[in-house]
Structure 1
Amino acid sequence: MSAQQPCVLLVEDEGVQREVLTYNLDAEGFRVVSAETGDEALLLVAEESPDLVLLDWMLPNVSGIEICRRIKADPESRHIPIIMLSARSDEDDRVRGLETGADDYVVKPYSVIELMARVRTQLRRSRPTTMGERLSFQDIILDSGEHRVFRDGRALHLGPTEFRLLSTLMERPGRVWTREQLLDRVWGRDIYVDSRTIDVHVGRLRKALMTNGGVNPIRTVRGTGYALG
């Protein structure tokens, strides 16, 4: 599994719909985790920290609208884009879904091709490096399509791990990433790596970024992790 493979949480209680969407998301190159209930979805949001949530409105026990509200109310998960799936097509329902915090609202029955396009659009906003975008922070430019990094116009030579680490930090400058979150994002969940390993690679990344005398842009948050800027 690629450590940069975006994770999509699919919350759908209908088995056939879940299988169809899982198949298409997997074909698009996404890692899919699924839930059949709202309570299960909230647990997976905390455990998996998905990059996007596909959320059905009509769920047993707790509605998708309530799950959306809870995800967006939590500072740890409010940044995760949510696409609401619903058979409710009235304008009032669309407005309610969006005002609750959904980033997009798709009415059933929908075109799977169009839905995949909407998923890619949301991920370009939340995880631009996985979609081949170019990022910039101060005098640092990261081109994920060409796998190159420049600082003050000069090319930097980064190893693959340091490149993935920098791309993660540049996705949300200022955000504090814990070591566990960085390990999950950079190495992936299928590989065991000691959390202290992240300190070694952050040190290598800092050294590369300061090769030509630039200021160290990576901030250490004692007892927590690291942030860019």
Structure 2
Amino acid sequence: MNNKNLDHEILKLIEAQPEISEREIASRLSVSEELVKTRIANLKDTRQKILIMGDGSNALSVKATLEAENYNVVEIPGGFSSLEAVTAEKPDLVLLDTGLADPEGFKICKQLRTSSRYWWIPVMVLSEKGEVKNRIEAFESGVDDYVTTPFNPVELRVRVGMILKRTYF
């Protein structure tokens, strides 16, 4: 059995019986207990990670909407952060909740686009400003998508899903 299948079988057993021991898992799968311990140690959260940064008031509802779709959502509250947050979290998507199309959000986007390590990470802006000039400014700074608030949860889920699909498949 390859590691992927073994991991799947281990997870199935754990989901069915959360209190199951590593020894019992090994016995049921006819593998060594050491191998089970190693595979469990190597299992990690494989959900796609979305980093929400910004000063907007939508973070809580955005987080709930995306977590309902089984994304791993990390919020950096209290305004914009530097690339340190991106370095620490290694997100699959950065969502800038800019409130009023804050120029700091576009600055972060430009930093990502000029970074040799993070240029590929997609960026979505969530903003109260829906005027064409605001959207143009966002897209010129390297934003991949722009959603105005109040947002439709279904639309947000679809847009996030499509960005991640284009980036990773």
Q: What range is the shorter-chain TM-score in?
A: 0.5 to 0.7
TM-score normalised by L of structure 1: 0.50
Map of 2:13 onto structure 1: none
Structure with more contact order per residue of length (Cα contacts < 8 Å, sep ≥ 6): 2
The answer to whether the Cα contact below 8 Å between 1:38 and 1:62 also exists between their aligned partners in 2 is: no
Q: Deviations along 1:65-122, whole A, 9 cap, x unmatched?
A: 1111111111111100001111111111111100100001111222121011100000
Q: Give the counterpart letter for 1:89 in structure 2.
A: G
1:5 aligns with 2:55: no
Q: For structure 1, which segment, 41-50 or 78-87, has the greater mean C-alpha deviation from structure 2 after superposition? A: 41-50
Map of 1:18 onto structure 2: 59
Percent of pairs identical after alignment?
31
In the alignment, the residues of structure 1 paired with residue 152 and residue 91 of structure 2 have an alpha-carbon distance, to the nearest angstrom, of 23
User: Which of 125, 137, 141 lines up with 1:100 in the alignment?
Assistant: 141
- Structure number with the higher strand fraction is 1
Q: Secondary structure at the match of 1:5?
A: coil
The answer to whether the Cα contact below 8 Å between 2:49 and 2:73 also exists between their aligned partners in 1 is: yes
In the alignment, the residues of structure 1 paired with residue 168 and residue 68 of structure 2 have an alpha-carbon distance, to the nearest angstrom, of 18
User: Which of 110, 118, 135 lines up with 1:69 in the alignment?
Assistant: 110
Q: Give the counterpart letter for 2:62 in structure 1.
A: L
In the alignment, the residues of structure 2 paired with residue 52 and residue 11 of structure 1 have an alpha-carbon distance, to the nearest angstrom, of 11
Q: For structure 1, which segment, 78-87 or 2-11, has the greater mean C-alpha deviation from structure 2 after superposition? A: 2-11
User: Which of 151, 155, 164 lines up with 1:110 in the alignment?
Assistant: 151
Map of 1:52 onto structure 2: 93
- 1:58 deviates by 4.0
Q: Deviations along 1:1-42, whole A, 9 cap, x unmatched?
A: 854310000114345x21211111111011011112212x52
Q: Secondary structure at the match of 1:109?
A: coil
TM-score normalised by L of structure 2: 0.67
User: Which of 17, 22, 27 lines up with 2:68 in the alignment?
Assistant: 27
In the alignment, the residues of structure 1 paired with residue 59 and residue 44 of structure 2 have an alpha-carbon distance, to the nearest angstrom, of 23
Structure possessing the higher radius of gyration over alpha carbons: 2
Kindly tell me the number of residue pairs found equivalent between the two proteins: 125
Q: How large is the Cα RMSD of the aligned pairs?
A: 2.0
In the alignment, the residues of structure 1 paired with residue 67 and residue 155 of structure 2 have an alpha-carbon distance, to the nearest angstrom, of 16
Report matched runs for 1:1-229 at 5 Å: 3-14=45-56, 17-36=58-77, 37-39=79-81, 42-58=83-99, 63-128=104-169
Q: Which runs of 5+ in 1 are unaligned?
A: 129-229
- Structure number with the higher helix fraction is 2
In the alignment, the residues of structure 2 paired with residue 46 and residue 2 of structure 1 have an alpha-carbon distance, to the nearest angstrom, of 18
Q: Secondary structure at the match of 1:57?
A: strand
- 1:53 deviates by 0.8
The answer to whether the Cα contact below 8 Å between 1:13 and 1:35 also exists between their aligned partners in 2 is: no
Q: Which runs of 5+ in 2 are unaligned?
A: 1-42
